[in-house]
Every structure is written in C-alpha cells, then in structure tokens.
C-alpha cells in the first residue's frame, strides 16, 4: 500500500512536470501570420522590401516585394514589383534549441519591371504585328529553391518572434527556354542567386 | 563564406535580367576589338580583306559553338562580323553567353545591333557590352560603316537609321579605297522605316566606292539590286541555318562570296 502511494505520488509529481510540456507540443505558441521581408538580388532588384501572410499551417508564405534597380546597375532606375510564394515542406528544430533548419524551401514568383522600354505584351507596345515577340519584356516568371535558417524568440504577447535567413537559387522562364533549346547551355549558366531575411514579432 | 564568394564570382548574383552592369573586361568590346584589329596584319595576300559574315546568333548557342569550331579551321580570315540579333530577348546574360562562345574564335569579332538586341533594356545592354549603335572602322583599305537600321523598335518616326550620319560617313572615305555598309534590317524589309527608304538608298547610291550593303535579319541568303540602281544588297544566314559566308574584297569594288556549311550535317 505504501509502495502504491509512492508510485502515485511519483506519477503525480512527474505529471506536473511533463503535462505543461505536452501541452506545449500539442499546441505550441506560434509565430504570427504577418511577416516582413528584406530581399537581395535574385532578379528582384538590388534590394527589395515587402511582406506577406503565412497560410497552410505556416508552410506557405505568399508575399509582395517592391525592389529597387538603381541607374548604375541598369542604365535607368526601375522598380520591380514581385508576387512570390515560398513553400516550406518541413522545418525541423535543432535539438532543444530555438533554431530551425529547413534544408530546402521551394517557390515561384512573377514580377513586373517599371519603365517605358519594357512592354507588357508585344501588342501593347503598339509597333509590332501580333506574335512578333511572344514574350513580355516587363513580366518575368520563375522558380527557386534554397535553405532557410530560423530563430524562434521567447513568447512575448500573443506570438513567438521568428526571424528567418534564407538563400535561393532560381531561374526565370526565358533562361529556362534558352537552356531547354540548347544542350551547350549548362544549368549553372541559367541560375541566379538571391536571399534575404524575414521577420515577425 | 568562401562558397558564397565563389558563387558571386561566377555571376550568379543577378539584380535583374535587364541589368547592364558587367565586369570591366566585358565592357566596350567594340572599342577593344578595333584596337586589336588595328595591330593585326591582314591575313590574306595583296590588298585583299577576307572576313566571315554571319547573321543572327539569337538563342542558337549550340550552333554558335559549332560555328566557332568551323571558323577556327579556316585559314586567312581577318575577322568575323555578326549582323545583329546577338540576343533573343535583349537580356544581359544572353549577350554574355554569346560572347563567351564567340571569344573562342581565333580572330576578333565585331557586331551591329539587331532588333532583338533592342527589346526591353537591350539598347543600354548592347551599349554597355559592345558600344555605339552606329560606328565605323577602317581595315585593309576598306571603310566599314555599321549602323542601327531597326526602325520598328523606335516606332518608326523617321529617326532610325540616322541617314545624315550615314551620308556623312559615305562622303568621308579619305584613306579608303572602298566602303561597305553593314546593318541588321535591310531596307527591303518591313521592319525598316518606310519613310527613310528613299533617302537611305539614295545615300548608298551616291557613294561610288560602295562595294555593297550587308544585312542579317531575314535568316537566309539573298543577293540582288532590289532598287535597280546598281547598289548590291546581300543578306546572310542565321546560325540556325548552319551556314555562313566568307567575303573577300579587293581592287576597286571586287568581291567574292563563299558559302561554308558546318555542324553535324556538314
């Protein structure tokens, strides 16, 4: 009987420690849905600022970026407006630390470059017959993949602060068409590198 | 960090496909090439100038490699001239992909701007990598006049080609026995500004030293005197046709045209 009491007391004591931890794993406090992004290169300007809203259990990060392309880099100043979505299939935590590493996140983008020299379609330019140029000079579409490193902060208020550092190797549809129609064009030649930080508080 | 530096080194970092920014060694290639050409003795005998003339390299990277291999097997070639449409979409990387292949040529190469090279930010990119859209050079007693004739890209409007500049260049042939005009769009094409055809062809007609007018754009060989005025207009193949021309010039206005077939079916 005395042994039974000791076991029950022990279980209770154990439970009082473990239960809050279990509660945490079942419904851990999450990062907020809104995030801000500071992005570099990758065809979206020298630097781009924007933000988005996490959906699908925080596995999808759709966002809008406004990039700046300075005169020194392109002869004319331009803005590049990008709609982009990243998919993070898994983001395991490093042991019991506050760091998460996602070996690969993938995504797609579509962007628009401002400037009168970039026609939306060859018809909108007004100087070509239909089909003269089949692509848009202003709109680029592409895909990318790359790793992410995330730091989770301490709960303060409703959400856990979350900062992510990421890199992306990508390409656009015109580079892809060039590579698909030429054996001598190597994958390395059509890749672009970009990266940035995302944060939510 | 080292890996990152390596990635930057092989130009993976791209701010926009329309950017004009280039490593110093790849800027102003026309000026660089002309300086090199002036130091080179002519490859052929007597007063003959012998050069390769080919058209549009646009997105024909495999064919461009085969073309380079073929030209490198030729003897007595002074230079290669690419008649415009170096790129397909007017993007910086395309110009670099072509240049990386054409710089494997054993002789220097020169270009004139094509309509595809002017798409989007292409004009600024062409100016950055090659240089002026209208330029001339003298070689082997010949004045080569290269100019932008892609009128449609400017919405016509009687601005391009710059006929006044052309007329001046054709008048001032001091030190040259003969002249050759090179452009991308020939005046017989619908992409040439119709308002400028009379003055353009008249300027050519007015130069007694003019051998002929050379163009690309139509991707095939044509030859004739379409304006029935004694001026010969030639067009050449695109890279996709696996053919190029070797042109020899000598004497007053003598020339010979050879056609070379290359690539897997040659």
Domain ranges of chain B: 30-261
Same-domain pairing of A100 and A121: yes
- Locate the chain B residue with the closest alpha carbon to A121: B120
- Which candidate, B78, B110, B90, places its Cα nearest to that of B19? B90
Q: Quick one: pLDDT at residue A8? A: 47
The predicted structure's pLDDT at residue A5: 55
Q: Where are the alpha helices (DSSP H) in chain A?
A: 2-26, 71-74, 173-180, 187-190
The rounded distance, in Å, linking the Cα atoms of A141 and B133 is 30
Nearest C-alpha in B relative to A140: B17
Q: Which of A40, A78, A117 to mutate to test the interface with B (most CBs of B within 10 A)?
A: A117
Query: Are A20 and A74 contained in the same domain?
Result: no
Q: So what's the pLDDT on residue B10?
A: 52
Predicted confidence (pLDDT) per residue in A34-71, tens digit = 999 999 999 999 999 999 999 999 999 999 999 999 99
Q: How far is A40 from chain B (nearest CA, A)?
A: 8
Is the CB of B124 less than 8 angstroms away from the CB of A75? Answer: yes
Residue of B nearest to A43 (CA): B16
Residues A102 and A23 in one domain: no
Q: Is the pLDDT confidence value at B156 over 50?
A: yes
**In whole angstroms, how far apart are CA A68 and each of B111, B124, B181, B235?**
32, 18, 41, 42
For B249, what's the count of Cα atoms within 13 Å in the CB-facing half-sphere?
24
Q: What is the CATH number of the domain that holds A56?
A: 2.40.160
Q: Which two tokens stand for residue B140?
A: 């082997």
CB atoms within 10 A of CB A40: 18
How far A60 CA lies from chain B's nearest CA (Å)?
25
Measured in angstroms, the CA of A75 and the nearest CA of chain B are apart by: 6
Residue A40 and residue A46 in contact, taking contact as beta carbons nearer than 8 Å: yes
Cβ distance B121 to A76 less than 8 Å, yes or no, reads: yes
B245, B249, B254, B257 alpha-carbon torsion, rounded to 10°: -10
Residue of B nearest to A170 (CA): B12
- Classify residue A3 as exposed, middle or buried by CB count within 10 Å of its CB (0-12, 13-18, 19+): exposed
Contact B111, B30 (CB under 8 A): yes
Query: Do A187 and A109 fall within a single domain?
Result: yes
Q: Specify which residues B85 forms β-bridges with.
A: none
Of B7, B14, B59, the CB nearest to A178: B59
Q: Measured between CB atoms, which of B13, B21, B124 is closest to A76?
A: B124
| Residues A42, A15 within the same domain | no
Answer yes or no: do A35 and A74 share one domain.
yes
Are the C-beta atoms of B192 and B201 separated by less than 8 Å?
Answer: no
Q: Which residues of chain A have a CB within 8 Å of the CB of B97?
A: 178, 185, 189
- B237 versus B43: the higher-pLDDT residue is B237
Nearest chain A Cα distance for residue B38, angstroms: 30
Q: Is B177 exposed, middle or buried (0-12, 13-18, 19+ CB in 10 A)?
A: middle
Banded model confidence at residue B11, pLDDT cuts 50, 70, 90: confident
Q: B197-205 and B163-171 are packed helices; what angle lies between their axes, rounded to 10 degrees?
A: 0
The CA distance from B222 to B62, in Å, is 25
> Cα(B207)–Cα(A1) distance, rounded to whole angstroms?
121
> Out of A45, A128, A169, whose CB is closest to B16?
A45
Specify whether the CB–CB gap between B242 and B63 falls below 8 A: yes
* Selected residue of A116, A139, A189 to mutate for chain B interface (largest B Cβ count, 10 A): A189
Structural domain harbouring A23: 1-30
How much is the average pLDDT of B195-208? 97
CB distance A69–B17 less than 8 Å?
Answer: no
Beta bridge partners of A178: none
Q: How far apart are CA B189 and CA B151, in angstroms?
A: 10
pTM of this structure: 0.90
- Could you report the predicted ipTM of this complex, rounded to two decimals? 0.92
Strand spans (E) along chain B: 49-54, 79-82, 109-111, 135-139, 142-147, 178-183, 210-215, 222-224, 233-235, 243-250, 254-261
Whether the upstream peptide bond of residue B204 has omega within 30° of 0, thus cis, is no
Are A191 and A200 a contacting pair, CB within 8 Å?
no
| Partners of residue A194 in chain B, C-beta under 8 Å | 13
Q: Which residues of chain A have a pLDDT value below 50?
A: 1, 8, 11-26
User: Rounded to whole angstroms, how far apart are CA atoms B100 and B102?
Assistant: 6
Structural domain count of chain A: 2
Among chain B, residues having any CB pair with chain A shorter than 8 Å are 7-8, 10, 12-21, 59-62, 65, 88-91, 93-94, 97, 101, 119-121, 123-125, 127-128, 152-153, 155-156
Across the interface, of B13, B101, B121, the residue whose CB is closest to A74 is B121
Q: Is A172 on the interface with B (CB under 8 A)?
A: yes
Average pLDDT over residues B34-61: 91
Together in a domain, A14 and A64: no
- Identify all chain B residues contacting A193, using CB atoms and an 8 Å cutoff: 7-8, 12-14
Chain B CB contacts of A43 under 8 Å are: 14-17
CATH homologous superfamily for the domain B30-261 = Metallo-dependent phosphatases (3.60.21.10)
pLDDT of res. A103: 95
Which residues, including other chains, have CB under 8 Å from residue A184's CB and lie 6 or more apart?
A: B61, B62, B65, B101
Percent of chain B predicted with pLDDT > 70: 96
Largest pairwise CA distance in chain A: 96
Q: Are residues A25 and A40 in the same domain?
A: no
A6 lies in the same domain as A16:
yes
The 10s digit of each residue's pLDDT in B93-144 is 999 999 999 999 999 999 999 999 999 999 999 999 999 999 999 999 999 9
> Alpha-carbon distance A168 to A105, whole Å?
8
Any chain B CB within 8 A of the CB of A133?
yes
Residue A158 is given by DSSP the state: T
Mutation to test the B interface, candidates A67, A133, A147, most B Cβ within 10 Å: A133
């Amino acid at each position: 009987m005395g042994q039974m009491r000791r076991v029950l007391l022990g279980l209770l004591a154990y439970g009082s420690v473990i239960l809050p931890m279990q509660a945490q794993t079942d419904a851990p406090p999450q990062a907020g849905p809104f995030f801000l992004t500071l992005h570099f290169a990758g065809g979206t300007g020298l630097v781009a600022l924007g933000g988005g809203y996490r959906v699908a259990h925080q596995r999808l990060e759709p966002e809008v970026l406004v990039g700046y392309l300075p005169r020194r880099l392109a002869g004319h100043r331009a803005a590049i407006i990008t709609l982009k979505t990243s998919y993070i299939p898994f983001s395991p935590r490093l042991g019991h630390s506050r760091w998460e590493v996602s070996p690969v996140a993938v995504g797609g983008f579509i962007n628009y470059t401002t400037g009168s020299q970039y026609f939306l379609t060859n018809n909108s330019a007004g100087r070509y017959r239909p089909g003269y140029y089949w692509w848009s000079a202003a709109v680029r579409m592409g895909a990318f993949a790359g790793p992410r490193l995330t730091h989770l902060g301490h709960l303060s208020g409703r959400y856990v602060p979350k900062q992510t550092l990421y890199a992306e190797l990508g390409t656009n549809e015109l580079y892809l068409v060039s590579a698909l129609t030429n054996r001598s064009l190597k994958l390395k030649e059509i890749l672009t590198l970009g990266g940035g930080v995302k944060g939510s508080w | 960090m080292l890996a990152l530096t390596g990635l930057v080194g092989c130009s993976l970092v791209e701010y926009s496909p329309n950017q004009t920014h280039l490593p110093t060694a790849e800027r102003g290639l026309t000026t660089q090439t002309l300086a090199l050409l002036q130091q080179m003795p002519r490859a052929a005998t007597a007063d003959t100038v012998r050069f390769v003339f080919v058209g549009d390299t646009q997105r024909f990277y495999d064919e461009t490699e085969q073309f380079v291999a073929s030209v490198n097997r030729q003897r007595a070639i002074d230079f290669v001239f690419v008649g415009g449409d170096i790129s397909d979409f007017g993007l910086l990387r395309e110009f670099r992909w072509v240049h990386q292949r054409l710089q494997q040529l054993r002789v220097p190469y020169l270009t004139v701007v094509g309509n595809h090279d002017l798409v989007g930010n292409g004009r600024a990119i062409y100016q950055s990598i090659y240089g002026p859209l209208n330029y001339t050079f003298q070689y082997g007693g010949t004045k080569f006049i290269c100019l932008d004739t892609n009128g449609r890209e400017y919405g016509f409007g009687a601005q391009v080609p710059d006929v006044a500049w052309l007329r001046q260049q054709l008048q001032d042939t001091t030190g040259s026995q003969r002249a050759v005009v090179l452009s991308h769009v020939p005046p017989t094409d619908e992409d040439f500004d119709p308002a400028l055809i009379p003055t353009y062809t008249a300027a050519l007609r007015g130069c007694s030293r003019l051998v002929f007018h050379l163009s690309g754009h139509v991707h095939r060989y044509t030859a004739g005197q379409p304006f029935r005025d004694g001026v010969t207009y030639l067009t050449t193949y695109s890279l996709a046709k696996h053919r190029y021309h070797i042109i020899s010039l000598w004497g007053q206005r003598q020339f010979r045209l050879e056609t070379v077939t290359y690539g897997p079916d040659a």
